[in-house]
Amino acid sequence: MLVSLPAAGLPDSPSDSPLLGRLLSPEETRVVVRREVCRCAPDGLTGNGRELVLLTVGSEGPREGTIHFHPLASLAFDPALGEDDPGQWMALWSFGPSAAGWRRTLRSTLPIPVGAPRASAAELARLDQRLAEIRESPEQADLLVPGPVVHLASLGRASRVHGVWMGVRRGLAWADVFNPAQFVFRAHETRRKDRRERNFQRTYVALQWLMDVGYTGEGQPAWLETVNDLRFHLLRNRSFFGRWVQHADSLELVYNYESDVRRQLGKTSSWLQSAANEHGLRYQPIYRFSENGAAFPLGGVLYYDPQLGLEADPEWWRVANPFDLRTNPHTDPRVQALARAHPDELIPLAVYTFQTHLALRPIIAIDFFAPSNPRTRESTQQLMVLIKNWLSITTGSLSFERIPYRVVSWAANKKGFTLLTDKSSRLGIEELRVALEAGLYFDPERRAPLLERADQRVLNPLIKPGEVEERLAHLQYESLLARDARALCRAVEEVRGKMAERLRVPPGLDPAARDLELARRLRTWQQQVVLDDRAAQSLDDYGALAALEPPLRFFLAEEPVDRKELAELLEELYAKLYFQQLQLPAGSRVAELDAVSALTRRVWERVAAGDARAPFEEQVSRVESRLRARQAEEQKKFAKKRLELLRELLEASHQQLAQAQRAGCGAAGDAPAELDAHLALLQEVAQAAFADPKLRAAFERQVPRLRRDLDALETSLSRCPAQPRDPWRAEWQLACLEQTRALRAELDRNGTRRTEASQ
């Protein structure tokens, strides 16, 4: 049951014949960003003749004698709503994936592994014909207009559909009631999640390339923050709990994710390189395209080199195969036959991807001598997930039936064995498919058969074959620009309408006035987001305080979109700044903190003007009195904690002094360690306690006992011989004796001062 029977029985296709030579080609195909200016037709539905800017990231390289452009994603801008070039971004499209249809959706509910997607010649011909019709006669052609992945009105808001799906799933899990429908639902949800994660990877990689190609490091493009916001939106929507991640943590979330990915890719590439060297094989990394940034490996190709003439240990290979290959290439008759026939050629063995949930484990995507090997591993991974779902709805969390599965899954998810893993490798596989669809990295003549082989690792009815998605990407891109970009203009106009409703633009304005008001409200909304982000961060340095001034001064001159919401934000910010002022030592001031606090109060007073709840001064007084009460309460707790710590220290000191007195001049192991240092610390504590009125009384109650302990210790140390057997011990005894007398003198001196003060 853990082997995909359909995969084992399928005949090899013509593309399954072994290849020779290096698979990677020179960097002829590159990632580029196209800028297209689209003028909307003045028909009242598509923007009234306004101009839009479309930035499209895609690959460009030779194919079939011409320069071929493959679109990956497009980002639309509206210059009328932005001050900088190219304007305000409106929507993002990702090309390739499309709706699965009811037949594929029905198949996705089957709780068994399904076959890999295959594209028929008739289907490819139909898509080519449809694309030709769009290019030749777009007015009569059947367009395939994609929906935007993200648009401006949805930015910052979690997906409701995703939340509903996750809520239903968690509700069924908590219900703990067996129902066969749960198994069907979980099977569909697992494949739906697989498709969502693959679409995320496509869009995220496209955004990475858009920023990499468009940003050279000189200056700062106006849409750089846009790309960061989009990446944050994509990351937070991957999880149900991502909706509670604050926008102030957007850069940290993106940075941590990309750092983890790069660290994993680099380590896995190094691990595969060392394993190839150990077993006498060649390894060639596949570096992600980078125009201005640092390139890092996303996968690699494993070769057999006949010229090396090395032989691996067959017994060791059988026990620990680090490459997930079915046979040892050093002993496989097919590999050796090719080596004898082509002694000067590298023989490709497998293609690997690295982005996975497994630690330091490359994922085999293409096996040239066992084409069904990757498909079998994907089938077993799906079966492990299905077994996990079955156990979760038929047994309790502490049931004995789950023990064998947990043992197997724990062992399989280690880097030494991955046949029975339940961890997914979809992200790395999908990036490889995107690269092959775009014609990147690999020899163009071998792109199609490699893409067909890579599809064998995709066992999801909701995912279409790579050749189909490649043609769909062109269909969607051409449909977006067909008929004078009518679909693009309508989509942007819908986003404008949603933003006008969200920002409460007054109805009835003429188009020009409506654009101006919407642009003003957009700027105000964005400045409020900036102010909210910076107010949520720690304000304990000068840079954080200085960063608050630009948005605060903006609201001194501009009207907010929502006065009540901004007033609440300013109240929280003023409270935060005022509380920091209260925490400063008495008599000390920080000019920068005072200036920002005063500026915040001025803006708050302007925004809160006309508030019917209470006069502004009364609101400020209420906030300040609440914070003073909080400060007093915290000081009270702090004073109590100091007294507790003082009592604990003094009690520990009594025990150490008693132990040292009992040890006397005995062995070094009998005395407390670092006794001299503890006596010095106790002297500093005594000085601080006598100087602090809140600690003096508690410390003075312990002085008589301390004096008795010190007298006894001094007497004990004074009786020690001047020249003990250990030379270093004399120095230690002398240091302890001097510290004891100094501490005793400190207690007597402060006691004398107290007596004189009382007289």
36-50 pLDDT, tens per residue? 999 888 765 555 678
Q: Show Cβ contacts of residue 678 under 8 Å, excluding neighbours closer than 6 positions.
A: 653, 656, 672
Instruction: Please indicate whether residue 37 or residue 187 has the higher confidence score (pLDDT).
Output: 37
Report the distance separating Cα 668 and Cα 483, nearest Å. Answer: 94
How much is the pLDDT for 437? Answer: 93
Instruction: Please indicate whether residue 422 or residue 608 has the higher confidence score (pLDDT).
Output: 608
Facing residues of 417 across strands? none
Q: Taking Cα atoms as reference points, which of 199, 97, 207, 745 lies closest to residue 469?
A: 97
Cα four-point dihedral sign 743, 746, 750, 755: positive
Calculate the dihedral angle through the C-alpha atoms of 593, 599, 601, 603, rounding to the nearest 10 degrees. -150
Other C-beta atoms closer than 10 Å to the C-beta of 267 total 13
**What does residue 114 show for φ and ψ, rounded to 5 degrees?**
-110, 170
Strand order in the sheet with 150-151: 30-39, 51-63, 66-78, 88-94, 150-151
Q: Among the listed ranges 198-202, 569-573, 753-757, which one has the minimum average pLDDT value? A: 753-757
Maximum average pLDDT range among 71-75, 134-138, 677-681: 71-75
Q: Enter the DSSP assignment of 245.
A: S
% helix, strand, coil for the chain, step of 5: 60, 10, 30
Residue with tokens 């007497």: 715
Q: Among the listed ranges 37-41, 547-551, 743-747, 749-753, which one has the minimum average pLDDT value? A: 749-753
Report the distance separating Cα 36 and Cα 483, nearest Å. Answer: 15
How much is the pLDDT for 686? Answer: 87
Report the distance separating Cα 295 and Cα 288, nearest Å. Answer: 6
How much is the pLDDT for 498? Answer: 92
How much is the pLDDT for 2? Answer: 32
How much is the pLDDT for 383? Answer: 83
How much is the pLDDT for 433? Answer: 93
Q: Is the pLDDT of residue 358 over 70?
A: no
Q: Where are the alpha helices (DSSP H) in 503-610?
A: 511-536, 542-547, 549-557, 563-582, 591-607
Report the distance separating Cα 17 and Cα 9, nearest Å. Answer: 17
Report the distance separating Cα 510 and Cα 568, nearest Å. Answer: 33
Report the distance separating Cα 315 and Cα 320, nearest Å. Answer: 9
Q: Is the pLDDT of residue 758 over 60?
A: no
Maximum average pLDDT range among 87-101, 288-302, 408-422, 603-617: 87-101
Q: Where are the alpha helices (DSSP H) in 137-179?
A: 160-175
How much is the pLDDT for 214? Answer: 78
Cα four-point dihedral sign 494, 496, 497, 503: positive
**So where are the chain's domains?**
30-483, 507-613, 653-757
Q: Among the listed ranges 356-365, 440-449, 686-695, which one has the minimum average pLDDT value? A: 356-365
What phi-psi label fits residue 96: left (phi over 0), alpha (psi between -120 and 50 degrees) or beta? left
- Furthest-apart CA pair in the chain: how many Å? 112
CB distance 302 to 282 below 8 Å: yes
Tell me, what amino acid is at 709? D
pLDDT tens for 454-495 read 998 898 899 999 999 999 999 999 999 998 889 999 999 999
Instruction: Please indicate whether residue 722 or residue 627 has the higher confidence score (pLDDT).
Output: 627
Instruction: Please indicate whether residue 362 or residue 136 has the higher confidence score (pLDDT).
Output: 136
How much is the pLDDT for 597? Answer: 92
Q: Show Cβ contacts of residue 176 under 8 Å, excluding neighbours closer than 6 positions.
A: 396
CA 637 → CA 481, 624, 690, distances in Å? 66, 20, 21
Report the distance separating Cα 703 and Cα 717, nearest Å. Answer: 21
Token digits for 205? 């990689």
Report the distance separating Cα 685 and Cα 196, nearest Å. Answer: 61
Q: What is the mean pLDDT of the chain?
A: 83
Euclidean distance between the first and final Cα of the chain, in Å? 96
Report the distance separating Cα 292 and Cα 211, nearest Å. Answer: 9
Share of the chain above pLDDT 70, in %: 84
Q: Enter the DSSP assignment of 594.
A: H
Token digits for 338? 């090719």
Average pLDDT rounded to a whole number, residues 565-576: 92
Token digits for 210? 């858009």
Q: What angle do CA 608, 612, 616 make, to 5 degrees?
A: 40
Report the distance separating Cα 353 and Cα 265, nearest Å. Answer: 9
CB distance 323 to 364 below 8 Å: yes
Share of the chain above pLDDT 90, in %: 29
Report the distance separating Cα 277 and Cα 296, nearest Å. Answer: 20
Instruction: Please indicate whether residue 49 or residue 433 has the higher confidence score (pLDDT).
Output: 433
Q: Taking Cα atoms as reference points, which of 464, 298, 411 lies closest to residue 365?
A: 298
Tell me, what amino acid is at 688? A
Q: What angle do CA 369, 371, 372 make, to 5 degrees?
A: 130
3-state secondary structure of 71: strand
Per-residue confidence band for 3, with pLDDT thresholds at 50, 70 and 90 = very low
Report the distance separating Cα 167 and Cα 190, nearest Å. Answer: 14
DSSP string, 75-113: EEEEGGG-SSTT-EEEEEEE-S----HHHHHHHTTSSS-
